[in-house]
Amino acid sequence: MPDTIETSVRKVLTDDSAVTALVSSRIYPVAAPQSASKPFIVYEVERLDPQDALEGHGGLTFADFGLTCWASSYGDAKEVATAVRDALLDYNGTSDNIKVHWSRHDNSRDTVVWPDDGTELPVYGVEQDWRVAFSSTKAS
């Protein structure tokens, strides 16, 4: 996979020992496999907003991310969400040729998914909205 803000954010999470202690490497883009063990994290880029300068792209892009922490219990979902927030809040650094200038936590909300047939317990989630400012470190 090429160097992207998605791979960079995933790497920040997989490099964080508090996050991996809870979810191991179960951090998935867009959707988790149906067989995924809980807890796990799903992330997706909801919007990329390249910042223009007078002569075109100024090099900085804002990415709006959604991350959802899923678990078998509400408490476990909250614990994963706290670890994710601690790992990403105000993060800046370089990973996979992507320079993250800052990351901002904009919002969190709880969610739950009940199986259609009612034979299983619900899955609890904490949805988080993030804004990340980044640029590429690759020479043009």
Q: What is the pLDDT of residue 116?
A: 77
CATH of the domain at 70: 3.30.2000.30
Q: What is the pLDDT of residue 139?
A: 54
> Residue 98 belongs to what domain range?
5-136
- Rounded to 10°, the helix 5-14/74-88 angle is 110
Q: What is the pLDDT of residue 50?
A: 87
When computed from its CA atoms, the radius of gyration of the chain, rounded to whole angstroms, is 16
Q: What is the pLDDT of residue 59?
A: 81
| Residue 132 backbone dihedrals phi, psi, to 5 degrees | -125, 130
Q: What is the pLDDT of residue 3?
A: 74
Q: What is the pLDDT of residue 137?
A: 77
Which of 77, 84, 73, 76 is closest to 129 using CA atoms?
84
pLDDT in tens, the chain (140 residues): 557 899 999 999 999 999 999 999 999 999 999 899 999 999 999 999 988 776 766 689 999 999 999 999 999 999 999 999 999 999 999 987 899 999 999 999 999 998 777 667 889 999 999 999 999 877 55
Q: Which amino acid is at 92?
A: N
Cα distances (Å, whole numbers) of residue 120 to 17, 69, 115, 116, 139: 31, 19, 6, 9, 52
Domain total in the chain: 1
Q: What is the pLDDT of residue 120?
A: 72
